[in-house]
Amino acid sequence: MSPTQTSDKLPGESAPENPAAGGKQRKHRLRDFWRRVTEGLELSDLWGQFAREAREGYGLYSREVDWDAVRSAKRWKRPYRAAKALFWAMILKLSPARRVLLVIALLLLVVSTFGSNSGDRDQGFVGFKASVLAAVIMFVLLALELADRVTMKRDLQIAREIQSWLVPAEAPVTPGYEIAFTTRPANTVSGDYYDAFWRSTAGPGVRDEETPLGRKLLLVVADVAGKSVPAALLMATLQASLHALAEVPSTLEQLIARLDQYVCAHSSEGRRFTTAFLAELDVTTREMRYVNAGHNAPILRRMSGMIERLDRGGLPLGVDPSRTYESGSTTLKSGDALFVFTDGVVEAVNDSGEEFSEMRLLQIVGNFVPASAAELRDRAMGAVEAFVGDARQHDDITCLVLRVLPTPS
Tell me the three-class secondary structure of 136-172, residue by residue: HHHHHHHHHHHHHHHHHHHHHHHHHHHHHHHCCCCCC
At residue 297, the pLDDT reads 96
pLDDT tens, residue by residue, 322-343: 888 999 999 999 999 999 999 9
Q: Which regions in the chain score pLDDT beneath 50?
A: 1-7, 203-214
Structural domains present in the chain: 42-161 (no CATH), 168-404 (3.60.40.10)
Provide the 10 A C-beta neighbour count for residue 78. Answer: 14
At residue 149, the pLDDT reads 83
Instruction: Report the predicted TM-score, pTM, of the whole model to 2 decimal places.
Output: 0.72
Helix (H, G, I), strand (E, B) or coil at 357: helix
At residue 355, the pLDDT reads 92
CA distances from 313 to 243, 294, 329 (A): 20, 7, 11
User: Would you say 258 and 249 are in contact if contact means Cβ atoms under 8 Å apart?
Assistant: no
Maximum Cα interatomic distance, the chain, rounded to a whole number of Å = 109
